[in-house]
Amino acid sequence: MSTVEQSIDVDVPVSAAYNQWTQFAEFPNFMEGVERIDQTSDTMTHWVTEIAGQKREFDAEITEQHPDERVAWKSVDGTSHAGVVTFHRLDAAKTRVMVQMDYQPEGFVEQAGDKLGFVERRVKGDLERFKTFIESRGGQETGAWRGDVQAPPTA
């Protein structure tokens, strides 16, 4: 299992950064390789990606979500991955967005790419594009989902 941790400071209030992040259908505007995301329920998403010529579809479950604080997920099929995006208020108009993700590279090409830092650079680029996307809109998010999803109980 490999881990990526990246963060970026965006010049928008925490609620704007969080609200925009809950608009999964907009991810193709700033996430490289993401063709489409459909939110099929409050806690389920269906992803269509194409990375390095490999098209993949998978479902992911939102396992925890708290407005202006965090969105956590795990894959339910396809490549194994899970993570959390947290939102940290730095001041009234600035937010730190932090991504922590664990994933299992599959096959020789993905393992080599992992060792060369491709995933880390991709996440960093996605965060930079998210910053450009939300700041270019003057901090006006394209929508919001403010529902609360409690983490599953631990054994």
Amino acid 44: pLDDT: 96
Amino acid 117: pLDDT: 73
Residue 26 is assigned to a structural domain of this protein? no
Residue 12 is assigned to a structural domain of this protein? yes
Of 37, 35, 56, 39, whose CA–CA distance to 47 is shortest?
Answer: 37
Residue 75 is assigned to a structural domain of this protein? yes
- The mean pLDDT value for 3-32 works out to 96
Residue 113 is assigned to a structural domain of this protein? yes
27 token code pair: 């991810």
Residue 14 is assigned to a structural domain of this protein? yes
Q: How many domains does the chain have?
A: 1
For residue 70, the domain's CATH number is 3.30.530.20
Per the structure, the complete domain to which residue 15 belongs is given by: 2-21+61-136
Q: Is 13 helix (H, G, I), strand (E, B) or coil?
A: coil
Q: Is 32 helix (H, G, I), strand (E, B) or coil?
A: coil
Residue 122 is assigned to a structural domain of this protein? yes
Residue 8 is assigned to a structural domain of this protein? yes
- pLDDT tens digits along 77-111: 988 899 999 999 999 999 999 999 998 777 777 77
Residue 105 is assigned to a structural domain of this protein? yes
Amino acid 145: pLDDT: 85
Of 14, 27, 3, whose CA–CA distance to 87 is shortest?
Answer: 14
What is the C-alpha separation between 50 and 4, in angstroms, rounded?
Answer: 20
Amino acid 104: pLDDT: 78
Neighbours of 70 (CB within 10 A): 17
On whether the CB atoms of residues 124 and 6 are closer than 8 A, the answer is yes
Instruction: Please give the share of the chain, as a percent, with pLDDT higher than 70.
Output: 98
- CB-count burial class (<10 Å; 0-12, 13-18, 19+) for 155: exposed
pTM score: 0.92
Q: Confidence class of residue 155 from pLDDT cuts 50, 70 and 90?
A: low
Higher-pLDDT residue of 44 and 79 is: 44
